[in-house]
Structure formats: C-alpha cells, structure tokens
Structure 1
C-alpha cells in the first residue's frame, strides 16, 4: 500500500501490552491524516512477544515486524526501525503506551516546517524518583548538546526519513535524536503531549542507567559532533 507514515514500536518482553498496542494503533490509523502503518521491532524478547506480533501482523496488513537475534537495546531497535521503514515520515512510540497514538496528529501539525517533532511530557505520570532522574539526565545532556530540549526521552516523535536514515548508530542514540538532527542542520521542535502511568509490563530503565548512561554518552556525542561528516548534494547527472 502507498503508506506515508511508519510508526516504529520497539519492544522487549511486552506481551502484556501488545493487545492494547494493536487496538490503539488500529484505532489511530483509521482516523490518521495520512496513510499509516506500524513496524514492530522485537529486541530479542524472551516472553511471548514475538509470537504475538507475528499473529498481529498476519491478521492486519497495516502491521509489520522485524525481530533481532538477541537483545541489543532500545537505540538499536530504533535505528533498525529507521533502516527498515520505507515511508517519507517515521514515527516512534513505546509499546508501554504511556503516550497516546492520537497525539501523533498533534505533532503532525508541525512536520512540514520541522525535520523532527518530539513530544514533551509536560504532566508526566511517573514516580518521583523516575521523574527526578530524568530531569537530571536531561539537564546533563542539554548542557553538552545545547539542543534546547526539555524531554528528549519522550517516546513520541515524528522525523523525516531522509534525516533519520543519516543518523549513525551508537548506544544511547534515543537520547540524542534532536541533537543528531541539528548536526544535519535540520530544525527541531518539542510539543506538549499527554502522558499516562504504565499499567502493564516492567520498565527497562532504572536510576543507574538513567544517570550514568546519559553522562557517558554525552562524551561520545561530543566526539561525533567534532568528527561528523555532513554534506548536501546540489547537482548530479542522471
């Protein structure tokens, strides 16, 4: 089908949430402003997640999946989604559905002017410890990248595919998507979106990897910023 928008859904051991993911994404696709499909990226799940996304994809042509041989992490899953998507616009949402697929329409209003539109969980429904660790991590990252983003970890984004596919792979990528678009001289914006408590499954990030990971990854970003190759072709023969 002539899809224009692919929603990447990374997942690792999320069997309790996948029925709701199918229901909510199907509901959104029926009212979406452009033709939309979903791409599950199974990050080496050890529960029944792979079996469930196979079933979903077999009964609904708007859903596809890819599956890793082993667990590689969220950044690898997002990057694989970028690589396998074949639409001009690519979205991203977590399989825990703490953000609402309907809010893609909120972000969609800005994508003509910007190259990445990211949600901002203004009224975040997480624990105090989780909120504070994310606040500190975002502050550390922002001081290195100067990307102006208050909530770069928000799992609701739309990005132009030509920018997404030029992002190099490294661990911690998901924390630096706005900064990587800015390295390509693209335009980014954050927009308030709704946020909900997790009602099933287990969170994959904790206090330690929310703080130490972003701090270490910032130095990798600085190295990449210094050595990043950015070019724009202005002419070619056919």
Structure 2
C-alpha cells in the first residue's frame, strides 16, 4: 500500500545536491506538519544528487514517520523530479516547495484555505529577497510567458504551490513545464489562485539557475506550450454502459 494515501496533502521536495540545506528542511517541515490544516506528509525526490543528500534524506526519513523519499541515480531536472513526485503520491492534494526553503512551509496553510475551490493555489513572493538582476530576469520571463500563454499568473517561479492531485496527474509535463503550471491547469479547465507568501534569501547551497537557463529555457518552452495547446486533446464521457 502506498503510504501517502493516508494523508490529505503530500509535500513534494525535489533535491539536487542540497546537503547543506537538509538539516533545516527537516527542522522546519517537522515543525510545520503538526500544525498543517490537513494531515500532511513529505516526499523527498532525490534527483541524482552527487553529494551526501540521499544519505541525509534516508536518515531524516528514519527519524520521522511522515517523511518518505524516492530517488533516481541520474539527474533529470526539476520538471521531471516534480512529475516523478506527482506520479508517486496518492494523497488528495499535492504540495510543492523547494529544498532551499526560500519560502516558508507555514505558508502552506495560507494556500490550503483556498484549496477546496481552486485546482492550483500558488504563492507570490512578496518582498522578494533575490538580487535586482535575478528579479529582472524573472520579470522579463514572466511577461513573455503571459503574452504567449494567455495566463494571468504573476510569479510562476514561486516555489510554493498546492494542487489537486487528480488534476496534477493529468498535466502534460515535459522539461521546463514547472514554469507553466497555471497555463497547464487552464488546458485542464482548472482554476488557479495566487496569494502573497514570505520569501527569504538562500542561506546554503548553490542556485541551479543562471541567466542562460532562466531566460533561454522559458523562451523556448513558450513556443512548445503554444504548439501543444493547439493540439491538446480534451474530451468528456457523457454516457457509458461499461460499468
């Protein structure tokens, strides 16, 4: 039996070479779970880490009944790690937070207040603590994405989200699609809402993003999304006698 089926919310945490952050992840997530609005667990997705991240994840899971993990020996990237986590869990709701904890797990409760009415509830990084250059890159990428996809999301890069698992499992993921969750929800006729959440500077480890993959990737992915949107298959079964 899949243990995540016993929970209302499974919080997916992709991990790639984040050994210096995992002690803090354990501390903050274990403190949050008893106060979550719904019964919640954590699922680490080790994405081919080459440091001691996997050993640390296993140790954390051995200390906490509500912490689980899946692991790959190869690094596939954030979108694939998210997809692997979504496919692995069986809870009603799927949560997502980055392992650098630049957002606060306690703010999941802000999102959960709206999760009954919206298939995707996402954070907006209020008073963002990144450099001016990094904020500028994100502003350019978000503006171009909105013009190409027609979604109204203002901060798709915010690493704090709650989704209905039934919708998340249907989303047509491919590399880079973690930036397009509101637009993908639109394809599935899902509703999304954004809320301001707290944001902090990275305190340990190294960011996996830079100018090249923060601008070039989203630029190309927008064209991939437009191509997919025109060919996306939607249907509803209105009658059946198969059972």
Superposition TM-score tier, normalisation by shorter sequence? over 0.9
1:23-62 matched pairs, under 5 angstroms: 23-62=27-66
Deviation at 1:235, TM superposition (A): 4.4
Question: 1:26-81: CA deviations, max 9, x gaps?
Answer: 11101111110000001100000000001111221101101112000000000111
Measure, in 2, the Cα distance between the counterparts of 1:72 and 1:156. Answer: 21
Question: 1:181-238: CA deviations, max 9, x gaps?
Answer: 0101110111110000000000000111111110000010001101111223444443
Matched with 2:165 is 161
Matched with 1:127 is 131
Question: 1:1-42: CA deviations, max 9, x gaps?
Answer: 621100000010000000110111111101111110000001
Matched with 1:105 is 109
Matched with 2:156 is 152
Measure, in 1, the Cα distance between the counterparts of 2:150 and 2:21. Answer: 35
Flag structure 1 segments of 5+ consecutive residues without an equivalent: none
Give the 3 Å change call, closer, same or farther, for CA 234–61 of structure 1 in structure 2: farther
Measure, in 1, the Cα distance between the counterparts of 2:49 and 2:23. Answer: 16
CA contact (8 A) 2:49 2:73 kept: no
Question: 1:88-131: CA deviations, max 9, x gaps?
Answer: 10000000000000000001111111110010012100011111
Measure, in 1, the Cα distance between the counterparts of 2:195 and 2:140. Answer: 20
Are 2:68 and 1:64 equivalent residues in the alignment? yes
**TM-score under structure 2 length normalisation:** 0.96
Measure, in 2, the Cα distance between the counterparts of 1:38 and 1:208. Answer: 31
CA contact (8 A) 1:129 1:207 kept: no
Measure, in 2, the Cα distance between the counterparts of 1:105 and 1:17. Answer: 22
Measure, in 1, the Cα distance between the counterparts of 2:236 and 2:200. Answer: 40
Instruction: Spell out structure 1 runs of 4+ moving beyond 6 A.
Output: none
CA contact (8 A) 1:8 1:40 kept: yes
Measure, in 2, the Cα distance between the counterparts of 1:204 and 1:109. Answer: 31
Flag structure 2 segments of 5+ consecutive residues without an equivalent: none
Measure, in 2, the Cα distance between the counterparts of 1:230 and 1:83. Answer: 21
Measure, in 1, the Cα distance between the counterparts of 2:66 and 2:186. Answer: 32
Specify the SS of the correspondent of 1:75. Answer: helix
